[in-house]
Copies of this chain bind each other. A is one copy, B any other.
Amino acid sequence: MTAHRLNRCRAALDRRQPDLRVLMDGVHKPHNLSAILRTCDAVGVFQAHAVVPRGNLAIHRHCAAGAGQWVETVLHDEVTAAVRSLQSEGVRVYAAHWSPRAVDFRDVDYTAPTAVLMGAELWGVSDAGAAAADGHISVPMAGLVESLNVSVAAAVILFEAQRQRQAAGFYDQVRLDPERYRRTLFEWLHP
């Protein structure tokens, strides 16, 4: 273990945002999963959640071994229970989902404990996910295509959260509790 590695791990943990989460509702293409986990790492998401379609566990394990090794990934069988469990921790869940109730993604306060729910590549956010969420958000589209790639939509929303949290000084103070900080540092240094 070099001092350089220790310093890099510490610098990342110093900026982790335990109250900014992502919940993937059936996202299953490996390149999208990896791209989303890379973005999570970059904006300081500590924990990502995924509702895993039957039989896709292997893909999730594979991606988690890449960029995802720096982002704790919690797997769920079913979306309603996943949303409820986040809500029970005081996290507001926003579904990235075009619907009559959707508000512009920039109008949400991401400094509050927030999870962003992303839908699957083809069928989008499930009805159960949309119903359980606290609100819906959309990224404006000025063209003819109906939706963005899911990893692109996740990044645009998460970097808006990053912008708001940076302005609020959230990256200048340690936000992980000391026990989780120590445990994660140990795991990262002794994989």
Contact = CB atoms under 8 A, between A and B. Distances in A.
Nearest to A152: B155
B34 A144 contact: no
A147 B9 CA distance: 16
A145 B38 contact: yes
A54 B151 CA distance: 28
Given A38-B152, A39-B148, A148-B42, A143 B70 contact: yes
Interface string A1-41: 00000001100100100000000000001010011001111
Say whether chain A's binding surface is mostly helix, strand, loop, or mixed.
helix
A47 B161 CA distance: 29
B12 A67 contact: no
A143 B13 CA distance: 8
B70 A144 contact: yes
Interface string A88-123: 000000000000000000100000000000000000
Given A34-B149, A38-B147, A156-B156, 10 more contacts: A35-B151, A39-B148, A39-B149, A41-B143, A41-B144, A42-B139, A42-B142, A44-B142, A44-B143, A142-B162
